[in-house]
Amino acid sequence: MNDTSAPTEHTPGTADGPRYDFRAAEPKWQAAWSERACFQVADVPTSGKPKYYVLEMFPYPSGKIHMGHVRNYTLGDVVARYKRAKGFDVLHPMGWDAFGLPAENAARERGVHPAKWTYENIANMRGELKRMGLSLDWTREFATCQPEYYQHQQKLFLDFLASGLVERKESWVNWDPVDGTVLANEQVIDGKGWRSGALVEKKQLSQWFFSITKYAPELLAALDTMDRWPERVRLMQANWIGRSEGARLHFDLAAPEAGIDKVEVYTTRPDTLFGMSFMAIAPEHPLAAAVGARDEKAAAFIAECRSKGTSEAVIETGEKHGYDTGLRVKHPFIEGATFPVWIANFVLMEYGTGAIFGCPAHDQRDLDFARKYNLSVVPVVLPPDADAASFAVGKEAYVGPGVAYNSDFLNGLDVDAAKRAAIDALAAKSQGLGVVNWRLRDWGVSRQRYWGCPIPVIHCESCGVVPVPADQLPVRLPEDVTFDRPGNPLDHHPTWKHVACPSCGKAARRETDTFDTFVDSSWYFARYCCASDTTQPLARAAVDHWMPVDQYIGGIEHAILHLLYSRFFTRAMKATGHISVDEPFAGLFTQGMVNHESYRAEDGAWLYPEEIDKRPDGTAVHKVTGLPVTVGRIEAMSKSKRNTIDPGEIIQRYGADTARWFILSDNPPERDMEWTESGAAGAYRFTQRVYRLAEGVVGANGPCPSEFGTDGRALRRATHKAIAAVTDALENFSFNVAVARLYELANAIADAERAAGTAANEPNLAWARREAVEMLARLCAPMMPHVAEEIVALLYPGSLNLVADLPWPDADPALLIAETVTIAVQIMGKLRGTVSVAPDSPAATVIALAEAEANVARGLEGKRIVKRVHVPNRIVNFVIAG
RNA sequence: GCGGGUGUGGCGAAAUGGUAACCGCAGCAGACUCAAAAUUUGCCGAGCGCAAGCUCUUGUCGGUUCGAGUCCGACCACCCGCACCA
């Protein structure tokens, strides 16, 4: 690992090796930071400094870090190091989202225990992260699979349960009959289980749910106050929560069916009730089940929906199927009118009440269904400018504004007024009321898995569900499990689930489901604040000090689930007295992906970047065979496309600073970026260049001289302008701009170096150069901390100061004022020349100079100046006539 | 279908309504070298012109303004998210 051999052909350097040897420097400074505990903070600091909590989404320990991690953790580290230099106590922790399916798959496929696999991966990835030189407080590290962590999660669950924030209820789930487990929607592909390939069934199971819907109104309302979240994420969450206003009403059946005498529906269009032509109920609706019990054809139809309901073919074509039950419902307003009840595949049991009234004229789905089954289509909303006698609905439902007609007492009202009138009429008959409906559903957290946090309850035949007493926590996962057959190993375990009921002492059964791993990640951010407290989930003093997270950074893929669950969990923890804040993340930043070119051989096989040679004309050949290679699209790095770059190798070859610098320099962090070899090599050249510039200024220490020559003044101005510009860029997450300003400063130093070679008598230029190099290093420090330390150590031999402990430099305001400013001179908004004047020169002076400028004067010749616009220090514009 | 985002040189991009293209990558020409690498100097949106300079150019069309990449309106293209949500 500690390879200090001569650089390979990829590491440019002089004949005797590169001047700056990152292979020696990076471990040295990482050790120095660690020895001085630079990045450790107390649970409750006494420094009196303001706090700043920087957090990046913690990684799943898959085995190796990828470029997405490098980008994520570099972004966070820049913020953490910058804020620390700005005088904040910075909390910047790291841990592992360690439960989950891949560990179980490894166990099934390779026979390695999930714990062993996970902890080995963690060890490897921890080493890789440490080599990146991140300013992390490693004393707070934990993995969610440790009982020391999940025991507290079990306690939180018990508290939620006691507070009515958890319930056990029946729900329809995707069931894989071969693997014997519930599948998430994302795990169902083409109606089949993603692992087994078995046709997925809909099955009703008793599951644990967190009552996130209780918080739907406030989770939605609070989005408006979260001004440091991306607009896009807030909108996605708002859509997900999905508030809609409408009416809930019931229809009486003409004749009761198996004791059911009415059906409740939800609608957003009660104004269209007079356009009803049928009722449709979901295949999972109780009334459908009742019909199915006596009608074989209905039962067959329901079964078909169950097996095909989730297949992509049905969803994509949107084809609607129905079955006429023969039942009829009475219209609430039209005396004597009844309508048929259909079972329809497009009605969702999970939304609303699982039943709708169909108004084909004003709903596209209802119209498609009505046309297919020859049901009547009666328009009841007349579009503006349409004629009541001739208006008809063809293939497109009319969903726009208009006036009610064909609608008895609603006639003449516009859509909104008709809705209100219809709801009032329903309420008067006690047949319905106005309601707010939510798309958000309660969060089912039961998983039939081994590698997850056990749900701490016991099922007793006499007592029902009994929570595990808090003093018996944690409920530990047994280690001796087998993965030799499908299903949940916890269920197969010979002894684990057999326990005495804590309440009555009789033989009882432990819950064998474990939590969805999203539970683990819904509170880890708070746990970091007090990670060493073994007695309770959260220590209020520490959590109240550090929470909320000031800056959270991660991928957009978590825009909904993880972030919404965490927001809910924080509210639930507040309700149970564990935390004081409502919102966990005050600021959110979503980074773009890291992409790379892809390559394919002639036979279509994907090739790794290291298998090909790029030629200057942009084409590529296979290194071994010499055959041409197709250079494909630039797309997200993925193992299947083989367009991945291993960060470990990049750090080995170029150093961590190079990787960090390049990943920040290319483009704005919220946008997708392309990883390129030449870009990485360019970043490496810059690390060497900065160090070389430093070597040229060693020794010019001492107090600031009072007089400088022309070159010295210019360089000092460039230095202080850079301080101001880089500070501004870092504050705004414009890291690519910060990088550009630092390149400029390096270029200015190089210019001064040349000037020093020719103008030997320039006074104190050496001091100005040393100042510039020191500032360059310190401004670079959040991005490339190791080079920065090496340079400052070079400038101040024997000093024990670490850049990591130095305050952020301030720009000297006097040096931010230019000696002269260049004013653009326009005629009619077109640039015609420039003039140089002292800053803040009076308008009359500037305008006179501008008019005298040769090219401007030519343009003004023979013209009448109508208006002279002068913007101080920027521009003069002449408006002319004739 | 609904919602959102993005369109600027060969490429990634920059630009509080005020000189469009900073900075980097790639490229071209030169210096150094026996040579290469490394380093380094210069050029580098398009067109016209010997030059001074002129014209055009931020997806398209229009508007506001002394002045628009930026603000407003319409449209086009691409990308992303959600989606049989009643």
Q: Is the peptide bond before A807 cis (omega within 30 degrees of 0)?
A: no
Contact A608, A642 (CB under 8 A): yes
Q: How far is the CA of A368 from the C1' of B12 (A)?
A: 48
Q: How many CA atoms lie within 13 A of A59 on its CB side?
A: 24
Contact A735, A75 (CB under 8 A): yes
Q: How far is the CA of A323 from the C1' of B27 (A)?
A: 69
The closest of A279, A270, A278, A277 to A410, measured between CA atoms, is A270
Residue lying closest to nucleotide B84, CA to C1': A346
Residue lying closest to nucleotide B39, CA to C1': A14
Q: From residue A800, how far is each of A32, A530, A776, A837 by CA, in Å?
A: 10, 31, 19, 46
Q: How far is the CA of A329 from the C1' of B68 (A)?
A: 63
pLDDT over 90, % of chain A = 67
Which pair of structure tokens corresponds to residue A881?
Answer: 């006539």
Which pair of structure tokens corresponds to residue A155?
Answer: 């306690």
Q: What pLDDT, on a 0 to 100 scale, did the predictor assign at position A760?
A: 64
Query: DSSP label at A860?
Result: H
Find tokens 């209802």 and name the residue: A366
Q: At what angle do helices A67-85 and A710-731 cross, to 10 degrees?
A: 110
Q: What pLDDT, on a 0 to 100 scale, did the predictor assign at position A528?
A: 98
3-state SS assignment for residue A701: coil
The closest of A214, A107, A223, A106 to A167, measured between CA atoms, is A214
Q: Given a cut of 50, is residue A14 above it in pLDDT? A: no
Which pair of structure tokens corresponds to residue A744?
Answer: 């400029």
Nearest nucleotide by C1' position to the A315 CA atom: B84
Find tokens 């040096």 and name the residue: A815
Q: Give pLDDT tens digits for A692-734.
A: 999 988 888 889 999 998 889 999 999 999 999 999 999 999 9
Q: How far is the CA of A232 from the C1' of B73 (A)?
A: 24
Nearest nucleotide by C1' position to the A683 CA atom: B24
b/e map A625-649, b = 16+ CB within 10 Å: eeeebeeeeeeebeeebbbbbebbe
Asked casually if ipTM beats, i.e. exceeds, 0.85, the reply is: yes
Q: How far is the CA of A632 from the C1' of B77 (A)?
A: 22
Q: How far is the CA of A610 from the C1' of B13 (A)?
A: 27
Rounded distance, CA A297 to CA A299, Å? 5
Q: Give pLDDT tens digits for A646-665.
A: 999 999 999 999 999 999 99
Q: From residue A716, how far is each of A579, A704, A728 by CA, in Å?
A: 49, 11, 18
Nearest nucleotide by C1' position to the A557 CA atom: B81
Q: What pLDDT, on a 0 to 100 scale, did the predictor assign at position A763?
A: 78
Nearest nucleotide by C1' position to the A874 CA atom: B18
Nearest nucleotide by C1' position to the A876 CA atom: B18
Q: How far is the CA of A673 from the C1' of B79 (A)?
A: 14
Return the higher-pLDDT residue of A754 and A794.
Answer: A794
Contact A830, A809 (CB under 8 A): no
Q: How far is the CA of A124 from the C1' of B69 (A)?
A: 47
Contact A570, A586 (CB under 8 A): no
Q: What pLDDT, on a 0 to 100 scale, did the predictor assign at position A4?
A: 27
Binned at pLDDT 50, 70 and 90, residue A551 comes out as very high
Q: At what angle do helices A677-695 and A785-795 cross, to 10 degrees?
A: 10
Nearest nucleotide by C1' position to the A823 CA atom: B19
Rounded distance, CA A145 to CA A382, Å? 61
Residue lying closest to nucleotide B26, CA to C1': A678
Alpha helices in A429-576 (DSSP H): 489-492, 517-520, 524-527, 540-546, 561-575
Q: How far is the CA of A236 from the C1' of B4 (A)?
A: 9
Q: Given a cut of 80, is residue A627 above it in pLDDT? A: no
Find tokens 């916890």 and name the residue: A490
Nearest nucleotide by C1' position to the A827 CA atom: B66
Q: Give pLDDT tens digits for A279-326.
A: 999 998 999 999 999 999 999 999 888 776 544 455 556 678 899 999
Binned at pLDDT 50, 70 and 90, residue A800 comes out as confident
Contact A545, A44 (CB under 8 A): yes
Q: How far is the CA of A361 from the C1' of B15 (A)?
A: 53
Rounded distance, CA A578 to CA A210, Å? 17
Contact A61, A126 (CB under 8 A): no
Q: How far is the CA of A91 from the C1' of B69 (A)?
A: 40
Q: How far is the CA of A318 from the C1' of B84 (A)?
A: 7
Contact A133, A657 (CB under 8 A): yes
The closest of A446, A447, A477, A444 to A101, measured between CA atoms, is A447
Span A335-350, mean pLDDT? 92
Q: How far is the CA of A670 from the C1' of B14 (A)?
A: 16
Non-local CB neighbours of A25 within 8 Å, separated by 6+ positions: A786, A787, A789, A790
Nearest nucleotide by C1' position to the A744 CA atom: B23
Residue lying closest to nucleotide B27, CA to C1': A616
Rounded distance, CA A433 to CA A422, Å? 9
Mean of the per-residue pLDDT values for chain A? 89
Rounded distance, CA A443 to CA A655, Å? 44
Residue lying closest to nucleotide B79, CA to C1': A672
Residue lying closest to nucleotide B20, CA to C1': A831
User: In chain A, how many H helices and how many E strands?
Assistant: 26, 35
Contact A661, A669 (CB under 8 A): no
The closest of A126, A143, A156 to A64, measured between CA atoms, is A126
Q: Give pLDDT tens digits for A411-465.
A: 999 999 999 999 999 999 999 999 999 988 888 889 888 999 999 999 999 999 9
For chain A, report the end-to-end CA distance as a whole number of angstroms. 77
Residue lying closest to nucleotide B2, CA to C1': A239
Per the DSSP assignment, residues forming a β-bridge with A515 are: A446
Lowest-confidence region among A118-127, A188-197, A830-839: A188-197
Residue lying closest to nucleotide B22, CA to C1': A740
Q: What pLDDT, on a 0 to 100 scale, did the predictor assign at position A411?
A: 94
Residue lying closest to nucleotide B25, CA to C1': A679
Nearest nucleotide by C1' position to the A316 CA atom: B84
Residue lying closest to nucleotide B86, CA to C1': A267
Burial class (CB in 10 A: 0-12, 13-18, 19+), A876: buried
Q: From residue A263, how far is each of A75, A285, A331, A801 by CA, in Å?
A: 55, 10, 12, 76
Q: Is the peptide bond before A474 cis (omega within 30 degrees of 0)?
A: yes
Q: How far is the CA of A202 from the C1' of B85 (A)?
A: 19
Nearest nucleotide by C1' position to the A246 CA atom: B86
Q: How far is the CA of A713 from the C1' of B31 (A)?
A: 30
Non-local CB neighbours of A17 within 8 Å, separated by 6+ positions: A6, A7
Rounded distance, CA A692 to CA A615, Å? 31
Q: Given a cut of 80, is residue A558 above it in pLDDT? A: yes
Computed on alpha carbons and rounded to an integer, the radius of gyration of chain A in Å comes to: 35
Q: What pLDDT, on a 0 to 100 scale, did the predictor assign at position A701?
A: 85
The closest of A31, A138, A134 to A784, measured between CA atoms, is A134
Find tokens 């809609």 and name the residue: A244
Residue lying closest to nucleotide B83, CA to C1': A315
Rounded distance, CA A487 to CA A485, Å? 7
Contact A323, A285 (CB under 8 A): no
Nearest nucleotide by C1' position to the A828 CA atom: B66
In chain B, which nucleotides are within 7 Å of a protein Cβ?
A: 3-5, 12-16, 18-20, 22-28, 36-41, 52-56, 66-68, 80-82, 84-86
Contact A280, A340 (CB under 8 A): no
| Identity at A105, one-letter amino acid code | N
Q: Give pLDDT tens digits for A467-515.
A: 999 999 899 999 999 988 878 899 989 999 999 999 999 999 999 999 9
Q: Give pLDDT tens digits for A23-52.
A: 999 999 999 999 999 999 999 999 999 999
Q: How far is the CA of A853 from the C1' of B76 (A)?
A: 44
Nearest nucleotide by C1' position to the A440 CA atom: B85
Q: How far is the CA of A722 from the C1' of B68 (A)?
A: 29
Q: How far is the CA of A561 from the C1' of B83 (A)?
A: 17
Rounded distance, CA A780 to CA A644, Å? 28
Span A620-647, mean pLDDT? 77
Nearest nucleotide by C1' position to the A268 CA atom: B86
Lowest-confidence region among A198-202, A376-380, A684-688: A198-202
Nearest nucleotide by C1' position to the A242 CA atom: B85
The closest of A686, A680, A693, A595 to A644, measured between CA atoms, is A595
Evaluated on CA atoms A104, A105, A106, A111, the torsion sign reads positive
